[in-house]
Structure 1
Amino acid sequence: MPPPTVREPLSPWPFAGLVGLACVAFLIGATPLVVGAPWWAVVLLVLVWLGALGLAIAWFTTRPRAVALLPAVVALVWVATVVGGARFLDWA
């Protein structure tokens, strides 16, 4: 009988990244109410968020620290979209 395999302890970084992505999802969901962004901008932000969620799931065990950075990247995309839309596209 083969010896049981030793499991490495789980890293907390991917869990923190998924919690961060959940927080950014609330930012994106509130964007049309608070900022007055058009529907197409919100759809693009949701697509960016879904792409980040897919990467987070794919990288959960292979790149745990990168998963923790994904919410910051998506939040920066959100800020750039909101500020750029308010400045150049006259969003309220």
Structure 2
Amino acid sequence: MAIPQRDQASPWPFVAMVGMAGCFFLYAASGLLAPWYGVVLLLAVWVVLFVVATRWWTPHPRRTLLLPVIAVVVWFAVLVLGEALFDWTA
């Protein structure tokens, strides 16, 4: 009697989580450029993206690759706009 093979796990969510971990360090180190409330806002955005990544893990494994890219774009945009509009400096 043969044991049925399950579908292989997709590697893409693992790659996305490595990207999300890297983005976490960007967000956490933003205190060098942004005030505390900017860092809190950024970390809240990161938590939302992380939750979405965990929810998409099985049903949409390839979509998880977009989330670290979105996280970097949001991080960059918030810091650039914060510097331009609110004079956030190091």
Q: TM-score, normalized by length of structure 1?
A: 0.90
Identity %: 43
Indicate the RMSD between aligned Cα atoms, in angstroms. Answer: 1.4
State which of 54, 57, 68 in structure 2 corresponds to 1:57.
54
How far apart are the structure 2 equivalents of 1:57 and 1:5? 27
Q: How many residue pairs end up in the alignment?
A: 89
Partner residue of 1:9?
Answer: 8
**Residues in 2 aligned to 1:38 and 1:15: alpha-carbon distance in whole angstroms:** 32
Q: Distance in 2 between matches of 1:41 and 1:65?
A: 30
TM-score, with structure 2 as normaliser: 0.92
Q: How far apart in 2 are the matches of 1:81 and 1:9?
A: 38
Q: CA deviation at 1:7?
A: 0.8
User: What stretches of structure 1 move > 4 A for 4+ residues in a row?
Assistant: none
In 2, the alpha carbon distance for the partners of 1:20 and 1:54 equals 14
The gaps in structure 1 that reach 5 residues or longer are: none
